[in-house]
Structure 1
Amino acid sequence: MDCLRAEAYILPQLRQHLSSTLFYHGLHHTLDVVEQALSLAEAEGITDAAELTLLRTAALYHDAGFLTTYQGHEVAGCELARQVLPRFGYTPPQIELIAELVLATRMPQNPGTRHLARILCDADLDYLGRPDFWPISQTLYDELTLRGLMTDETAWLQLQVDFLSSHRYWTSTATARRETQKLARLAEVRQQLAQF
């Protein structure tokens, strides 16, 4: 399993072929998820090199489906992984595990009990409890609005309230790192919504 070659394949694809209107789901998001997944894995005590490689690969490919589709991009990303990862020495069971991790990030997230899936899900939505929540959420609003998936700011704020209220972190590390600030962002969104 040659993660460096798998990475060397996918990063230029994302850099060159993702739509420039993916203001949220661009290459920067993928790189952030990789960084957060590895940070969470370390804090969660994942030391097995093969597990870390599988997690890193899943993070790199988790939004690669946006290369071909917007709706159902997770499934498209799994199809891409099944096509390209064998040439980098990944076995069918390893690729299916990567696909399982990618599919766990679909909304609403459903990682089950698999630790790596829980880590990837938390890495994918790490920003919810970070100081850069507001600028990042604005990019998602802009991305959805451009596609006709968001009608106005009031609807967006209500969606944010609903999403933040129902969201949970799946690992103890992410909960400890991000939950308090996520709840603070929820209070801020509620305050903004009340002003409309």
Structure 2
Amino acid sequence: MIDFEKIQKRVYQDILEKLPDYLTYHNLAHTQYVSEKALFLAGIEKISESEIELLRLAALFHDTGFVENPKNHEEIGCGIATKYLKDLVSDEDLKKIHGMIMATKIPQTPTNQLERIIADADLEYLGTDDFLRQGNALYEELLHFNPSLSEQAWNELQLTFLEKHDYHTDYCKKYREPKKQENIESVKEKLKVL
């Protein structure tokens, strides 16, 4: 059995607590949110304890690549996960963890139940009342990399993203999709005003 708390503490100290302040979205709070949602969905999907352990590890590492580069951060995160976990998990389990990390890459293309869970956990907020707050945090982060990104351009980007996005778990399809449709309408309203 892996000592998850010990690994989590190391990853928090080594990476997630050291992420730059301009990462207002891809930060420790986001990792904690995704971990929480992944566990929630895992409970509904009734996956095994050993799979839950792998899911928790994947959620922990899924955005660690931001410490090096926002582009291809999923691939970088797989490398970081390997460095931390290669002596603790089997090659087969490491492959599953890599698969889950890569399932969060946009556009999402999960290929199994665990990948569908983490993909939905990562973007679950799109279909919640927290959409505006998290969206604003992401806009603020993107402004750091592209200071000329106007609110109009951001809302157009968000609308395109929302319209292309699909949930992958039955729970999110049933309980998050309706609110996501409302959020799409609210972005369309903003675009009319601008």
Q: Which residue matches 1:105?
A: 104
Q: Secondary structure at the match of 1:125?
A: helix
Runs of 4+ in 1 over 4 A off after TM superposition: none
Q: Which residue matches 1:37?
A: 38
Aligned alpha-carbon RMSD (Å): 1.3
Q: Deviations for 1:69-123, whole angstroms, at most 9, x for unmatched residues?
A: 1111100000011111124x211111111011101110111102x0000000000
Maintained 8 Å contact 1:150/1:156: no
Q: Which residue matches 1:94?
A: 93
Distance of 2:178 and 2:92 partners within structure 1: 38
Q: Which residue matches 1:187?
A: 185
Q: Deviations for 1:35-61, whole angstroms, at most 9, x for unmatched residues?
A: 000000101121x11100000100010
Q: Given the superposition, is the C-alpha separation of residues 109 and 149 from structure 1 closer, same or farther in structure 2, using an over 3 Å criterion?
A: farther
Q: Deviations for 1:98-152, whole angstroms, at most 9, x for unmatched residues?
A: 011101110111102x000000000000110111110110010010111017621
Distance of 1:13 and 1:184 partners within structure 2: 39
Distance of 2:16 and 2:96 partners within structure 1: 25
1:161 Cα deviation from its structure 2 partner: 0.9
Q: Give me the TM-score of the superposition, normalised by structure 1.
A: 0.94
Q: Percent identity?
A: 36
Please tell me whether residue 174 in structure 1 is matched to residue 172 in structure 2.
yes
Q: Given the superposition, is the C-alpha separation of residues 149 and 36 from structure 1 closer, same or farther in structure 2, using an over 3 Å criterion?
A: farther
Distance of 2:92 and 2:10 partners within structure 1: 21
Alignment-mate amino acid for residue 29 of structure 1: H
Maintained 8 Å contact 1:54/1:94: yes
1:160 Cα deviation from its structure 2 partner: 1.0
Q: Given the superposition, is the C-alpha separation of residues 75 and 15 from structure 1 closer, same or farther in structure 2, using an over 3 Å criterion?
A: closer
Alignment-mate amino acid for residue 111 of structure 1: P
Maintained 8 Å contact 2:35/2:60: yes
Counterpart pick for 1:133 among 125, 131, 134: 131
Gaps of 5+ in 2: none
Aligned residues between the structures: 193
Alignment-mate amino acid for residue 180 of structure 1: P
User: Which residues in structure 2 correspond to 1:143-182 (within 5 Å)?
Assistant: 143-148=141-146, 151-182=149-180
Q: Give me the TM-score of the superposition, normalised by structure 2.
A: 0.95
Q: Secondary structure at the match of 1:134?
A: helix
Q: Secondary structure at the match of 1:110?
A: coil
Please tell me whether residue 72 in structure 1 is matched to residue 72 in structure 2.
yes
Q: Secondary structure at the match of 1:98?
A: helix
More moved, 74-83 vs 9-18: 9-18
